[in-house]
Structure formats: structure tokens, C-alpha cells
Amino acid sequence: MSARDAKNGFGLLIDTARAEPVTVEKYGRSVVVLVSVEEYERLKAAHQPVPSPEHNTGPKA
């Protein structure tokens, strides 16, 4: 979807993004991907960094 189409059809953009990711292009290049809140939360949870033992700031034994 072009940036112009996204701007002119924002309601449709939202409805579509709730069902599937939508890539928005500007000057023929992909610039953003719009996803549903549920998909965003799923992606965020899947990429939570796991602290490494050397960065543990708790008390030492």
C-alpha cells in the first residue's frame, strides 16, 4: 500500500492491519509495517531479552 493510499484510506488500513500485517511504501520503498495490537504484543513477548548471568546485579554468594 502506498503512503498516499494509507493516508486516504486510513480506516481501511486499520481494518486490514487487524487481520494481517500491512506494508506501507513511500517512493516505491517499504518504510513501515502496520500490525494489530495482538500481533505487536506477541512479537514483543517473543523478543524479550534474557539477562545473562554476568549482568546479574543481585547479592553474590
Per-residue model confidence as pLDDT tens digits over 24-50: 999 999 999 999 999 999 999 998 877
The CATH number assigned to the domain holding 41 equals 3.40.1620
Residue 53 domain flag: no
Contact 6, 24 (CB under 8 A): yes
Domain that holds residue 20: 3-46
Residue 40 domain flag: yes
Residue 54 domain flag: no
pLDDT of residue 61: 53
Beta bridge partners of 25: 2, 30
pLDDT of residue 51: 72
CA dist., res. 51 & res. 53, Å (int): 7
- Averaged pLDDT score across all residues of the chain: 88
Residue 58 domain flag: no
Give the Å distances, CA to CA, from 11 to 43, 44, 45: 24, 25, 27
Q: How many domains does the chain have?
A: 1
